[in-house]
Amino acid sequence: MKTDTAAAGGHPAPGAEKYYIRLNLHERVQHHLTWSTFVVLAVTGFMVEFPEEWVAPLGQYRDIVFYWRGILHRVAAVVMVLNMFYQAGYVFFTAAGRGYLRDMLPRVKDLREAGQNMAYYLGWAHAKPLFDRFNYKEKLEYWTGMIGGIIITVTGLFLWFQEYFPKFIFDISVLVHTMEAILASSAIMVWHFYEVHLKPGKFPMSTVWLDGKISEHELKEEHPLEYERITKGASSV
């Protein structure tokens, strides 16, 4: 996808910070659908794992609460799956989406950059690697999220329509579904939140997910190769 080089608000005043499009409208909508369904699925999913003493205060409303818990969980699951098809259609059938997918594909240089970055953190190298549109951490998070989404969808369908499958399929699906949910929640709360919102320079929150714009300073700092390409007027490679 060619990155929009238009600064926010048209022509900025001299000395004002420039902003570039990091996420277009389709990508922002997909992200909003992803995080909102994730929150609903995590809350309503983990409710079935609550200890009995946590549920007891619900008293006579317990059955009603858990009935609607199940409805909300399934509705959010359907929206999540539809969003996965939306993302697939976007990356395969639109020019911007194909550019996004091409830039997100793993490459040998990602392994090299991961090693260079680790050496930089350990003080063995004086400079960190120059990242392009997506660095190795972003690619890893993207692809593990895609794979995790497929796993949790398949096992969720086995649980939803358990009467059509052998009991051992149900038992395995319960285990895998639960473990994948724990892994995904931990990754989001620890890795994603720190990398995107909480680390120095971004705290208390990056606003890219809201307006899709990244500042010139941040683009130069975190994605210097993309910035260089943008300023030269070339499209993504």
Tens digit of each residue's pLDDT (9 = 90 or more) over 136-173 = 999 999 999 999 999 999 999 999 999 999 999 999 99
Quote the pLDDT of residue 199.
86
pLDDT beyond 90 at 2: no
User: Residue 212: its pLDDT value, please?
Assistant: 95
DSSP secondary structure string, 38-107? Answer: HHHHHHHHHGGGS-HHHHGGGGGGHHHHHHHHHHHHHHHHHHHHHHHHHHHHHHHHSHHHHHHHHHHS--
Q: How far apart are CA 42 and CA 38, in angstroms?
A: 6
Whether 90 and 26 have beta carbons less than 8 Å apart is answered as yes
Q: What integer pLDDT is reported at residue 16 of this predicted model?
A: 72
End-to-end CA distance of the chain: 9
Rounded to the nearest 10°, the torsion over CA 144, 146, 148, 150 is -150
Does pLDDT of 70 surpass 60?
Answer: yes
Write down the pLDDT at residue 177.
97
Segment 107-143, tens digit of pLDDT: 999 999 999 999 999 999 888 999 999 999 999 999 9
User: Residue 192: which residues within 8 A CB-CB, separation 6 or more?
Assistant: 141
Confidence of residue 15 (pLDDT cuts 50, 70, 90): low
Angle, CA 203 vertex, CA 202 and CA 205 arms, to 5°: 80
Q: Would you state the pLDDT for residue 237? A: 38
pLDDT at 11: 46
Burial class for 167, CB neighbours closer than 10 Å (0-12, 13-18, 19+): exposed
> Does 8 have pLDDT greater than 80?
no
pLDDT-derived band at 14 (thresholds 50, 70, 90) equals low
Percentage of the residues of the chain whose pLDDT score is greater than 90: 76
What is the bridge-based pairing of β-strands 19-21 and 213-215? antiparallel
Q: Please state, as a whole number, how many other Cβ atoms lie within 10 Å of the Cβ of residue 52.
A: 6
pLDDT in tens, 176-218: 999 999 999 999 988 899 989 998 888 888 999 999 999 999 9
Alpha-carbon gap, residue 158 to 149, rounded angstroms: 14
Confidence of residue 51 (pLDDT cuts 50, 70, 90): confident
